[in-house]
Amino acid sequence: MARRTEPPDGGWGWVVVLSAFFQSALVFGVLRSFGVFFVEFVAAFEEQAARVSWIASIGIAVQQFGSPVGSALSTKFGPRPVVMTGGILAALGMLLASFATSLTHLYLSIGLLSGSGWALTFAPTLACLSCYFSRRRSLATGLALTGVGLSSFTFAPFFQWLLSHYAWRGSLLLVSALSLHLVACGALLRPPSLAEDPAVGGPRAQLTSLLHHGPFLRYTVALTLINTGYFIPYLHLVAHLQDLDWDPLPAAFLLSVAAISDLVGRVVSGWLGDAVPGPVTRLLMLWTTLTGVSLALFPVAQAPTALVALAVAYGFTSGALAPLAFSVLPELIGTRRIYCGLGLLQMIESIGGLLGPPLSGYLRDVTGNYTASFVVAGAFLLSGSGILLTLPHFFCFSTTTSGPQDLVTEALDTKVPLPKEGLEED
């Protein structure tokens, strides 16, 4: 293939978008709908909410903490075999979980094994997608991540229906079969052939440059705080509604309402990210702030109408921030560093995914309700949105704004010392 100097902004990239759509559905759609299993696990193993919360928390943390491994393997072998292997591991973890007799078994099967499979699928796919798009990157990312909203709308009531007919063990067997489709998604990946940039260096030089890159480090801290509270409604909203005497099926349906709004938010946000002039970071800060406010208001709402309105608001804003969170990264570090940068970002923000759900469950055990859990989750997102204000060009309102490559050149080439020996060796 002829080597391009810039991303093609289309072509096979739309097939990669389709692959990423189904992968995001089979990874984060399953994670978001796992609150349906939460109540079943509490009853089956007679454990406290905080201990059961560690199942999803470990899965999220392993998926993110293991992302550098997936990125490194993709750099060496290409994303296709790595993602296909991840699909096998994710399905195997769910299969073994159906035979669990203790929470430890679920920690190891769903949390560790399936989480490892998710780590090998998500980051390499999004990095591959980012290499295909420049001008339409936000839209492409938004379309790819609509799989999360669509699957959350489908999976929450579907999993509840499975539980009522096949119990949790049979349901996990069927989730395992669904996860196996990640293998087919991985087979569709084919990274574009772009001209090499000698200034980028090898993986070690890229890692060194990123660890000295102030805006990247601040952005990583912001997303870590956001990640701490982001998943709380999808894990504990059903339990919170049951504390308010809601039946399980209507409670699960409210998650579907949020998922529909999430789906719309991702598409609208992706379009706005490419259409609105100026840094994408501003839109990301707006959606993050609104998400934090809606989270903090959940304990205040008691009437069904108010809860539905909040679910719609949370779904839209949380869905809107997701594609922009990944679109900002190439603007900061460039597409040729995207595999290393995305893997490192996911690894560090896994701290938030690991601590958020257990903290929420602990606050519920201590206080007897989920009021503190939702308020603290909203506070984490508001803290992350405050850090976004410190990123480069956030307050630049000139009519002519720098393009992504200009921002990367300014931020990296003039501020980041690259080790000479590492560059020559790589």
218 and 301 fall within a common domain:
yes
249 and 376 fall within a common domain:
yes
The yes-or-no verdict on residue 149 having pLDDT over 80 is no
Q: pLDDT grade, residue 202 (50/70/90)? A: low
Domain annotation covers residue 151: yes
pTM: 0.71
At 14, list the tokens.
Answer: 């739309």
Q: Which residue has the higher pLDDT, 107 or 130?
A: 107
Last residue of a domain, one of 170, 191, 212: 191
Domain annotation covers residue 50: yes
pLDDT the model gives residue 211: 85
The yes-or-no verdict on residue 18 having pLDDT over 90 is yes
pLDDT the model gives residue 118: 92
20 and 89 fall within a common domain:
yes
39 and 116 fall within a common domain:
yes
156 and 274 fall within a common domain:
no
d(CA 205, CA 228): 30
Domain annotation covers residue 175: yes
The yes-or-no verdict on residue 309 having pLDDT over 80 is yes
From its phi and psi, is residue 34 left (phi > 0), alpha (psi between -120 and 50) or beta?
Answer: alpha
Residue 261's CATH number: 1.20.1250.20
d(CA 86, CA 91): 9
- Those residues with Cβ within 8 angstroms of residue 386's Cβ, 6 or more apart along the chain or in another chain: none
Residue from 327, 328, 333, 66 nearest 206 by CA: 333
Q: Which of 44-53, 57-66, 261-270, 394-403 has the lowest mean pLDDT?
A: 394-403
110 and 209 fall within a common domain:
no
137 and 218 fall within a common domain:
no
Last residue of a domain, one of 171, 191, 211: 191
Domain annotation covers residue 66: yes
Domain annotation covers residue 420: no
Q: Which residue has the higher pLDDT, 351 or 278?
A: 351
End-to-end CA distance of the chain, in Å? 24
182 and 282 fall within a common domain:
no
Number of domains in the chain: 2
388, amino acid identity: L
304 and 169 fall within a common domain:
no
The yes-or-no verdict on residue 400 having pLDDT over 80 is no
186 and 256 fall within a common domain:
no
Q: pLDDT grade, residue 171 (50/70/90)? A: very high
103 and 186 fall within a common domain:
yes
pLDDT the model gives residue 7: 63
pLDDT in tens, 310-353: 989 998 998 888 888 888 887 788 777 777 888 888 788 878 87
Q: pLDDT grade, residue 357 (50/70/90)? A: confident
Domain containing residue 268: 202-395
Q: pLDDT grade, residue 200 (50/70/90)? A: low
Domain annotation covers residue 423: no
Domain annotation covers residue 419: no
Last residue of a domain, one of 148, 163, 191: 191
Domain annotation covers residue 197: no
pLDDT the model gives residue 41: 87
173 and 212 fall within a common domain:
no
pLDDT in tens, 78-117: 889 999 999 999 999 999 999 988 889 999 999 999 999 9
